[in-house]
Structure 1
Amino acid sequence: MVMIKVAVLGAGGDVGQALSLQLRLSPFVDELALYDRTKAAGVAVDLSHIPAKQVIKGYKSIDDGLAKILTDADIVVITAGPSILSFAAFKTRNDLLESSAVMIGPLIESCAKICPKTIIMIVSNPVNALVPFAAERLRKHNTFDARRLFGVTTLDVVRAETFLAEKLVTVSELEAGMEVNVIGGHSAETMVPLFSLVNVAEKLSSEQVDELTHHTQIGGIEVLLAKDRKGGATSSTAYATFRMVERVCRAMKGEKGMQECTFVYMPGIEGGNEIAESIGLNFFAVPVEFAPHGAGMVINPIKGMSEKEEAMVEQSAKQLLKDIKLGSELGKAFGIDLLKSAPEQC
């Protein structure tokens, strides 16, 4: 019987705590290990009062706590990152990237040294750049495996499916096996929801498709404004991340057909080369079918797209090229100077 240990890094944050609660209740997680620099131990004790057979532990000391959390971890989920309240201070994408990289860089380094074969899921933003950044850090330690590094973009899929369900006469139509693939990247200008390929596409007018696409792309801004710019999408991000983690766990335990859209290095995964060559990028969010070792194969999402969606993919690729380059270059240059400026919390 496969036993799975999931480690959440940044478990004291809003997303981390909400995610940890859902993972505590999952029958597919056998051990839950929580880490951040302030609250993880308290979160673990709190969750331990919820009845479950699963082992749960939490640590906050980076000196020995992180090593205990990562040892024998099968899946590492990184939710650590700058607070949404600090986003206004970032004038450019590079500012946000560097701040996030300073926080997750040491975590990636620790994964490479302590659990080199773990599956790493990056929730922290900007995903489009942080995944290439992480890939470069793992390459430095000769531990990069494209099948085991994911950028979590499931929130885009969840939003697309939710907004589509609201357009349908009955939710049962959504439950009948219709999922919306959202490809590209994890930002408003790079995500491409493929509404033209859903099972009920014939029931949607072109105006409704345009409305659904726009709503999906600005979903994060909608939440930010609704919270008076004092918070972002935390609960929905936690739910979407949980959905992906659980599907990966189920695949690790031998269940077939588990898949999700995720931001990956396509050439390192079966079926990914064709798409990489077609769009001219190595990193892209695509539907991936999971296997016990991580990504089993990429499912080609670009056949049969509408002309509008094809145009959106072209525009997405232009921006993603910049994001990927920023992340890769920072990953190659990342060193002791940035580590010294790491914040006291994650």
Structure 2
Amino acid sequence: MFARSAAHKLASARQFSSSAARHTNVTVLGAGGGIGQPLSLLLKLDPHVKKLNLYDIRGAPGVAADVSHIDTASEVKGFEADKLEDALDGAEVIVVPAGVPRKMTRDDLFSTNASVVRDLATAAARVAPKAHLCIITNPVNSMVPIASRVYEKAGVYDPKRIFGVSMLDVVRASRFLAAIVGADPVNTPVTVVGGHSGETIVPLFSQTPASKGVTGEVYKKLVHRVQFGGDEVVQAKAGAGSATLSMAYAGARFANALFRGIAGEKGVIVPSYVRSPLFEKEGIEFFASRIELGPNGAEKIHPLGQLTAEEEEYLKACKDGLKKNIQKGFAFLE
């Protein structure tokens, strides 16, 4: 009774809402890890998921067997390390939390995760080139350029269908702001732009009415906490782990928004790190901002809107960092 009740609550909540009746085939690459397991659980609860393929170099069949017992309609199957192409066959959405977990900084895992994303993107471009690719693997600022270049070299690149999942920054910004002003996070949505690491994360609190009284040092500390919230979790776990559960939740929220857009729901707008024209003339080809999702993916990229002088300063630092991150990703494939 509890499992059914919990599933129904998740299915009907704002974070995992249901709309049109279209159902989607989803593949999770890295389903056996700290993010992959809870993410697979949440995707099993999503009413838009028809088929859920779980892949990892180890443990995916066990995760699949476990998750498959949950009493929702989607079918679940696990795949061993040598069955990557089978796991990708028929995928419409591919979610990638694969890679080594973060320790203290995102740079310390670049080389390993860059190789992982390159190889997975190569297989996805070959087997399911039209699938929507959602990258969680850190550092996202560099991984999305890597995957995009892989698709480009394969001749199947569609920038509307490759996403860097930056939703955790949005989740944190809403939660942290709500705690300060004494509100429900549901009523304090915050747009977060830029990238998905440190100073590249720019929360636009000025566009959230609830933040009107948050100024001075309180404001600066709030921005810093959003930018470096990942460090807070790593330190709390004494270097033995990172933000896995909150990231899984954020990944599932973004996936649900994408499912709804694919199903034809109008007005599905969320921040995501994608190929963007907003600052392309400044050498920044990828940028997180509010994007409108539809059957073809990122169908519209919204402008940032009016920023405060403080947000302009944060944006400047963001762009400097992003340019380096993007070039680092491209350089890996040269």
TM-score > 0.5, shorter chain as reference: yes
Partner of 1:75: 93
Q: Unaligned stretches of 5+ in structure 2?
A: 1-20
Q: Distance in 1 between matches of 2:35 and 2:140?
A: 15
Q: Distance in 1 between matches of 2:282 and 2:232?
A: 30
Partner of 1:305: 307
How big is the shift at 1:204?
2.2
Matched, 1:216 2:233: no
Distance 1:202 1:17, change over 3 A: same
CA contact (8 A) 1:147 1:295 kept: yes
Matched, 1:4 2:24: yes
Q: Distance in 2 between matches of 1:287 and 1:75?
A: 20
Q: Distance in 2 between matches of 1:251 and 1:322?
A: 32
1:314-338 per-position Cα deviation (integer Å, ceiling 9, x unaligned):
111111111100101213x2xxxxx
Partner of 1:344: none
Matched, 1:33 2:44: no
Matched, 1:247 2:257: yes
CA contact (8 A) 1:254 1:291 kept: yes
How big is the shift at 1:184?
0.9
Partner of 2:171: 158
Letter in 2 for 1:31: K
Matched, 1:57 2:91: no
Q: Distance in 2 between matches of 1:313 and 1:234?
A: 27
Q: How does 1:1-346 map to 2 (within 5 A)?
A: 2-62=22-82, 65-84=83-102, 87=103, 93=107, 96-171=109-184, 174-176=185-187, 178-266=188-276, 273=277, 275-277=278-280, 280-301=283-304, 303-331=305-333, 333=334
Letter in 2 for 1:329: A
How big is the shift at 1:105?
1.5
Structure 1 vs Structure 2 CA RMSD:
1.6
Q: Compare 316-325 and 161-170 and name the one that shifted more.
A: 161-170
Q: Unaligned stretches of 5+ in structure 1?
A: 267-272, 334-346
Q: Distance in 2 between matches of 1:11 and 1:105?
A: 17
SS at match of 1:210: helix
How big is the shift at 1:168?
2.1
Q: Compare 43-52 and 280-289 and name the one that shifted more.
A: 280-289
Q: Distance in 2 between matches of 1:211 and 1:325?
A: 30
SS at match of 1:183: strand
Q: Distance in 2 between matches of 1:194 and 1:3?
A: 34
CA contact (8 A) 2:50 2:74 kept: yes
Partner of 1:342: none
SS at match of 2:58: coil
Q: Distance in 1 between matches of 2:92 and 2:302?
A: 24
Bigger relative contact order, structure 1 or 2 (CA pairs below 8 A, ≥6 apart): 1
Q: Distance in 2 between matches of 1:135 and 1:239?
A: 25
Percent identity over the alignment is 38
CA contact (8 A) 2:204 2:311 kept: yes
Letter in 2 for 1:46: D
How big is the shift at 1:5?
0.6
How big is the shift at 1:277?
4.7
1:232-289 per-position Cα deviation (integer Å, ceiling 9, x unaligned):
10000000000000010011111111121111111xxxxxx3x225755211111111
* Matched length: 314
Q: Distance in 1 between matches of 2:238 and 2:301?
A: 39
CA contact (8 A) 1:32 1:56 kept: yes
SS at match of 2:35: helix
1:35-78 per-position Cα deviation (integer Å, ceiling 9, x unaligned):
0011110100011111111111110132xx21221111010011
SS at match of 1:256: coil
SS at match of 1:295: strand
CA contact (8 A) 2:44 2:52 kept: yes
CA contact (8 A) 1:279 1:314 kept: no
CA contact (8 A) 2:181 2:211 kept: no
1:104-137 per-position Cα deviation (integer Å, ceiling 9, x unaligned):
2211001110000010011001111111111111
Give the TM-score, by structure 2 length: 0.90
1:273-316 per-position Cα deviation (integer Å, ceiling 9, x unaligned):
3x225755211111111011111101111x31111110111111
